[in-house]
């Protein structure tokens, strides 16, 4: 089973929009898990309740994300990533490691097709 990491925007001053980001990442994770071909890491669901005004904790979360990027087979990039400073850093780190990056907004059908095709 391939290990997939979902990256994309999380932070937002509006708690409703922040929760919408978590739900969007969860929906993508659910679709990937349903294929039976991916173990999925969804950092949004693991860290969103820890978002506080604690710069030290935020840096530790970011360091943990960079470690996770090194441990997965592919990165699934959510829409809006280019507007998130943290996601841009994660994206660039993944590029530097040569990790495959798949854009959910344009490659969703391809990603799911490849997973189902591999099952046969």
Structural domain boundaries of the chain?
A: 2-79+100-119
pLDDT at 83: 80
In three-state secondary structure terms, 103 is: strand
Range 84-88 contact pairs with CB under 8 angstroms and sequence separation of 24 or more: 84/8, 84/9, 84/10, 84/11, 86/10, 86/11, 86/62, 87/7, 87/8, 87/9, 87/10
Class of domain 2-79+100-119: alpha beta
- pLDDT score of 50 more than 70: no
Q: How far is CA 105 from the centre of its chain?
A: 13
pLDDT at 8: 82
pLDDT in tens, 15-49: 777 777 788 888 989 988 888 888 998 887 766 55
- CA–CA distance, 67 with 107 (Å, rounded to integer): 25
Give the percent of the chain with pLDDT over 70.
73
Cβ(63)–Cβ(43) below 8 Å: no
Tokens of 90: 């994660």
pLDDT at 61: 74
């Amino acid at each position: 089973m391939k290990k997939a990491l979902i990256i994309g925007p999380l932070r937002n001053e509006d708690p409703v929009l922040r929760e919408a980001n978590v739900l969007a990442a969860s929906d993508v994770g659910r679709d990937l898990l349903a294929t039976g071909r991916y173990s999925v890491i969804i950092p949004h669901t693991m860290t969103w309740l820890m978002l506080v005004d604690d710069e030290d904790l935020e840096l530790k979360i970011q360091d943990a994300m960079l470690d996770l990027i090194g441990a997965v087979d592919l990165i699934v990039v959510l829409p809006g990533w280019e507007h998130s400073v943290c996601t841009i850093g994660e994206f660039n780190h993944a590029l530097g490691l040569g990790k495959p990056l798949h854009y959910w907004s344009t490659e969703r059908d391809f990603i799911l097709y490849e997973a189902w095709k591999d099952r046969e």
